[in-house]
């Protein structure tokens, strides 16, 4: 009987230790640097914002957040890297509409499963714009349409790769205008903006923040913005509603995810730290200066948003008449 009692006590102690282990781990978290995968090129608006966030959060978390830019291919490369990382809480992933909503609907052989990425927090919406190179001498969407229709093969358009949000918008324009504007892939908004300024491509749609300095310097022309009202940063530029694009659904966004398996207490800590930062007035001012709209949520709110966003993606893909395709790296 004493032996049985000793065994029972040992088993109970082991079970108690197992239950306490996650809590103890969470209390000591983090005890080393955290890797932050950003699914876009360095220098893009999202990269600038996340580097500012990393600097703020280092003090709060007690460890640095080391950014790793994995851009291009409509967020596929970043999504794959996120899924393959350990779910120990030491990798977080900055994801967006393509990563989570569009890619599974567009690619038949997607090398990652968005449903294996754990939603932590939605962070912000993009205010996007249509921008043109001064070399093509257009000053409005109407003039861009007239040029594209008179020379249907003459224009190139910067995208983030086949199936990306800019690519879908270009295909929608081609369908609406009966034109053949050609997409050229770039790894982020920063490289795309420089390509428009250099005349390597003539037009694109990206987050406004990537283009502000170039517009103000006269190196790029802003033709329309996606916000409901005119942007304070570009008050003379009409909205999509004003130019007749008010029925185009969807809006670009960015959020935070993690590989599956992150312990709940650690996931909650990460969510809370990012959500608090992106809701603070001072940091929200920085976001607004980058022409994005603060929209921080908790994990449950982000998960619910993703369900609706996937439905919007289906609508956009139908409008753009995009068929499923094979991903080629």
pLDDT classification of 25: cutoffs 50, 70, 90: low
- Say if residues 212 and 288 touch (Cβ distance below 8 Å): no
71: pLDDT strictly greater than 50:
yes
pLDDT: is 13 or 209 the higher one? 209
Q: Quick one: which of 119, 120, 150, 127 has its CA closest to 137?
A: 150
State how far the Cα of 174 lies from the Cα of 190, in Å rounded to an integer.
24
Ranges in the chain annotated CATH 3.40.190.150:
32-126+251-319
What separation in angstroms does the CA of 109 have from each of 151, 281, 318? 35, 42, 19
Residue with tokens 């603070």: 280
Q: Quick one: which of 29, 30, 121, 116 has its CA closest to 80?
A: 116
Q: What is the pLDDT of residues 192-214, one digit of tens each?
A: 999 999 999 999 999 999 999 99
Can you identify the CATH homologous superfamily of domain 32-126+251-319?
Bordetella uptake gene, domain 1 (3.40.190.150)
Ranges in the chain annotated CATH 3.40.190.10:
128-225
Task: Name the CATH architecture for the domain at 128-225.
Answer: 3-Layer(aba) Sandwich (3.40)
State how far the Cα of 278 lies from the Cα of 296, in Å rounded to an integer.
6
What separation in angstroms does the CA of 82 have from each of 57, 78, 117, 214? 20, 6, 7, 33
Q: Quick one: which of 138, 179, 187 has its CA closest to 161?
A: 187
Give helix then strand counts, H and E, for the chain.
12, 11
Q: What is the pLDDT of residue 163?
A: 82
What's the residue count for the chain? 329
Calculated CA dihedral for residues 49, 255, 189, 184, nearest 10 degrees: 170
pTM of the entire structure? 0.84
DSSP string spanning 219-280?
Answer: SSEEEEE-SSS--TTSTTSPBTTTTT-TT-----EEEEEEETT--HHHHHHHHHHHHHHTTS
13: pLDDT strictly greater than 60:
no
Q: What is the pLDDT of residues 216-253, one digit of tens each?
A: 999 999 999 998 888 888 999 999 999 998 877 778 99
Helices (H), ranges, 29-106: 45-61, 76-84, 97, 103-106
pLDDT classification of 262: cutoffs 50, 70, 90: very high
Angle between the N-to-C axes of helices 264-277 and 45-61, in degrees from 0 to 180, rounded to the nearest 10? 120
Point out the least confidently predicted range of 20-34, 156-170, 234-248: 20-34
Q: What is the pLDDT of residue 304?
A: 98
């Amino acid at each position: 009987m004493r032996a049985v009692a000793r065994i029972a006590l040992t088993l109970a102690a082991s079970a108690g230790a197992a239950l306490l282990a996650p809590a103890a781990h969470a209390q000591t978290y983090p005890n080393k640097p955290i890797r932050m995968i950003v699914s876009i090129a360095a220098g893009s608006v999202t990269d600038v914002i996340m580097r500012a966030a990393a600097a703020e959060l280092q003090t709060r978390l007690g460890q640095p957040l080391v950014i790793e830019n994995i851009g291009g291919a409509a967020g596929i490369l970043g999504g794959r890297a996120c899924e393959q990382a350990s779910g120990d809480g030491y990798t977080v992933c900055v994801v967006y509409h393509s990563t989570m909503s569009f890619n599974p609907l567009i690619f038949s052989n997607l090398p990652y499963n968005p449903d294996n990425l754990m939603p932590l927090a939605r962070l912000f919406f993009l205010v996007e714009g249509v921008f043109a190179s001064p070399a093509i001498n257009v000053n409005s969407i109407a003039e861009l349409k007239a040029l594209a229709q008179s020379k249907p093969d003459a224009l190139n358009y910067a995208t983030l790769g086949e199936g990306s949000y800019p690519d879908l918008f270009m295909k929608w324009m081609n369908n609406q205008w009966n034109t053949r504007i050609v997409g050229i892939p770039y790894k982020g908004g920063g490289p795309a903006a420089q390509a428009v300024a250099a005349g390597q491509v003539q037009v694109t749609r990206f987050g406004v923040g990537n283009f502000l300095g170039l517009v103000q310097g006269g190196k790029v022309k802003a033709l329309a913005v996606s916000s409901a009202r005119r942007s304070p940063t570009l008050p003379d530029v009409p909205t999509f509603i004003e130019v007749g694009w008010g029925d185009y659904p969807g809006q670009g966004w960015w959020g935070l995810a993690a590989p599956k398996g992150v312990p709940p207490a650690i996931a909650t800590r990460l969510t809370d730290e990012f959500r608090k930062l992106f809701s603070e007035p001072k940091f929200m001012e920085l976001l607004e200066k980058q022409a994005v709209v603060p929209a921080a949520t908790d994990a449950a709110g982000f998960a619910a948003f993703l369900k609706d966003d996937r439905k919007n993606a289906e609508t956009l893909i139908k409008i753009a008449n995009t068929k499923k395709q094979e991903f080629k790296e």
